[in-house]
Structure 1
């Protein structure tokens, strides 16, 4: 399964946020890529 989610900050100031994955208890994440603007973080 692959999940793509896009978020946009409509404000001119930076925001701090906490993201909670919308997954069931029996599910595991084995790979993830987070892109913020032109930055990429793989885990």
Structure 2
């Protein structure tokens, strides 16, 4: 029962992440642009 519940939660969370993935945006200057998840912060060394 616990495994089934965990499996359902994984599916639910994955669906929610896919749903909002395209909604994440970054404010740059005066315009919104899509957030690049693979972009490294410029301050990172």
User: Normalising by the residue count of structure 2, what TM-score does the alignment of the two structures yield?
Assistant: 0.22
Higher helix share: 2
User: Normalising by the residue count of structure 1, what TM-score does the alignment of the two structures yield?
Assistant: 0.23
Larger Cα-atom Rg: 2
